[in-house]
A and B are shown apart, each in its own frame.
Chain A
């Protein structure tokens, strides 16, 4: 299989005059969980539907598992699993009928594995899909995407409606897929989910790729926060020295408590505080993806 299960070059899609996707160059590597982040309407689903040949690019091309997304679309679908964002199945079929239906289209499905997956996700296969709650329907969607052990799993907002326990199990599954050398492309606006499972993240905004980073790199560039408690109340004018240190973005004060947002090293900040007061307690918090995400949008807006 290709080293880059997903490779797009100048991928562009216009709806009339509206550019939904602009010049997208993206490389997803084999064996990784790749997070695709962006707010509603940023072009995530358009990108997925374009590479799956549901809609046709206005310009550019995409290669999936080494195959051309347009010419070899049927061959591609032999090797992928896909869960659409707005999942719709056949309400009259039971969960098991639904999986049998798709298994008959694909062939080569191992039912022992399907039953094991169903058990792990606590999916009820005996009821009609139309009678299931949205979360339980989503589980059937997850099973149909995963049941034939695809080389590439493409999922659009997969955790919709799942309870926290099932979400946890699902994230385990995704990590297992990556550890077997298979690839997961996870489109989401749920930062928490991407943060838990992704190796690398792409951020898309108004159809344009804003950044592609490893999660660790992204974090190192991002803001962190340190909360320091000192022995005596501290006056605002005493803070000037700290506020002007390299990397410090913001300093808040509340009596004996001091809160500093910064990037880079914490050593200088601690040193500056200890020159003025005795430190009683200290707590640091790594910035989560939400803060990183907001930073991207704030800093690169426009």
Chain B
């Protein structure tokens, strides 16, 4: 039999696994678009169209901005593109490294198929799903205005979707190359998500800084919407860059995979192991990796995701914290002009805050999106996913043969979740304080601490919801996707609903309202908001305990 590059059965099996998350993404994106467009239809668009030309350009809003353009722009330039690219990172990272993580690569390769056939079949399936998802999202984007009776005018939603699809394929292929080269699915997934977030920030911020605008081109995200495809149509050269890079990454992935030893399980050297094996640090390493690590269930759980914790904490401290101070100092003049011209409602979409003040800058750049995203991710991975994994692998059975109740096991996982979230939020808070001090911006340390506390609680709200879903179902996938969906919905509703007087009161039903709704970095403590978030955490955790106590473990 001639070896082929792509195996039909592998391709179809991978396709089936990826269809459901993609279908959910399309439906959720469609519903968000419906909500966004309905709200834009209701409000006076003058607040956008009257903006000075330079600012409209920066925001990707054409002179004759209409309801459809604004809704497409807000939804697809951020949430939609990150969602579809995030799904692509997920299939890319798992293409071959997922089999190694699960210990199934041996039995798979006992069949007459080569390594690169496995990789290419999975990539072909992933690419098919991404293209189909983008096509369906495009169809939804055309359907929603018809349903609402909104004219879409000259808006090039087709061009936006082509760029969005190419961008997702880029990130999927990059994750596949890293996964194929390292055999580590989880690290690759985390690095892919961090890379995407970084790229998004660089592409958004560098053009604001005089002298750095040209450097934005190093960010892959620049090739997604730097050319404003919604207004200007498809930029062929940018598509070529994204797809060309995807092809190169695929080739690199195949090459790296051919050369390395496959892992039987994902148990390579971790940070603590490196400390433990080095003669200088072996004592400290042994205490941390040995005695301390096995002292309690929550400590052991916390030690399992050292890579993810370090990457997230460092990115939040350095990029979203320390660097943001000098960055503000570099752009405060253009920002002040920008802020003076942009109405409050529009700024609310970027996380609120007055961009002409350093508090507003940090609120918009660090706290509105990145801090909750990092904290919610950490909370889900360290709480719900870790517990679901313990149940799926079977080690929960051995653990529960010891004199420890299910309630205590759940509490330990919640403790691990809080411990990790604390590290990330502390890194963020100290980073922001350091950034403010370096640039002499004079942010109140108490207000930074208060905002961080609210961010921590917001992360824990969604972390506890994920724990409750795992407690009730045992499914890591259901818990992750449902919780991420709820968190994004909460964020978007909280951003959109206040635009319309009619819908504004409904924003109070989202957890996000109690996070930045009171502008804690500017206005200081609002104990009521803290109380609401703390109560939500308590209720979700109570549900998690009760559900886990009742269920038959799988």
- Chain A residues packing against B (C-beta within 8 Å): 49, 52-56, 73-75, 77-78, 80-82, 84, 86-94, 96-98, 100-102, 104-106, 128, 130-131, 141, 144-145
Contact = CB atoms under 8 A, between A and B. Distances in A.
A145 B398 CA distance: 9
16 contacts: A74-B404, A77-B400, A77-B403, A77-B404, A82-B398, A86-B394, A87-B394, A90-B300, A92-B303, A93-B293, A96-B290, A97-B289, A97-B294, A105-B403, A106-B403, A128-B273
Contact of B405 (A74, A89, A104, A141): A74
B98 to A, nearest CB: 16
Interface string B394-416: 11011111111100000000000
Contact of A104 (B295, B303, B393, B553): B295
Given A54-B397, A77-B401, A105-B403, A92 B295 contact: no
Given A55-B552, A105-B404, A87 B398 contact: yes
Contact of B300 (A53, A84, A93): A93
A73 to B, nearest CB: 8
Interface in B539-554: 552-553
Contacts of B290: 94, 96-97, 100
Contact of B401 (A52, A55, A89): A52
B291 interface: yes
A92 B267 contact: yes
A131 B402 contact: no
B259 interface: no
A84 B296 contact: no
B402 A105 contact: yes
A144 B398 contact: yes
Contacts of B399: 105
Contacts, number: 88
Contacts of B400: 52-54, 77
Contact of B397 (A84, A102, A130, A131): A84
Interface residues of B, number: 30
Contacts of B294: 93, 97-98, 100-101, 104
B267 A130 contact: yes
Contacts of B552: 54-56
Given A100-B290, A104-B295, A130-B267, A89 B404 contact: no
A104 B399 CA distance: 12
Closest CB pairs A-B (n = 10): A130-B267, A88-B394, A82-B401, A101-B294, A55-B552, A105-B402, A91-B267, A78-B403, A88-B395, A88-B393
Which of B270, B300, B403 has the most chain A CB within a 10 Å cutoff? B403
B403 A74 contact: yes
Interface centre among B304, B395, B398, B401 (most CB of A within 10 A): B401
Contacts of A131: 267
Contacts of A73: 405
Interface in B287-312: 289-291, 293-297, 300, 303-304
Interface of B: 265-267, 270, 273, 289-291, 293-297, 300, 303-304, 393-395, 397-405, 552-553
A92 B304 contact: yes
A80 B400 CA distance: 11
Contacts of A100: 290-291, 294
Given A49-B553, A91-B265, 7 more contacts: A88-B395, A90-B395, A96-B290, A97-B294, A104-B295, A130-B265, A130-B267
B267 A88 contact: no
Contacts of B401: 52, 77, 80-82, 84, 145
Contacts of B266: 91, 130
B397 A75 contact: no
A167 B361 CA distance: 68
Residue in A53, A56, A101, A131 whose Cβ sees the most chain B Cβ within 10 Å: A101
A146 to B, nearest CB: 12
A88 B404 contact: no
Contacts of B402: 77, 102, 105-106
Contacts of A55: 552-553
A81 B273 CA distance: 30
Contact of A75 (B393, B395, B403): B403
Contacts of B304: 92
A52 B289 CA distance: 31
A53 B294 CA distance: 25
Nearest to A77: B403
A205 B291 CA distance: 45
A229 to B, nearest CB: 48
A150 to B, nearest CB: 10
B448 to A, nearest CB: 35
B168 to A, nearest CB: 32
Contacts of A128: 267, 273
Contacts of B398: 82, 84, 87-89, 102, 141, 144
Nearest to A91: B267
A71 to B, nearest CB: 12
A160 to B, nearest CB: 13
Nearest to B550: A56
A55 B270 CA distance: 35
Contacts of A82: 397-398, 401
A141 B399 CA distance: 11
A271 to B, nearest CB: 57
Contacts of B404: 74, 77, 105
A104 B296 contact: yes
Contacts of A87: 394, 398
Contacts of B303: 92
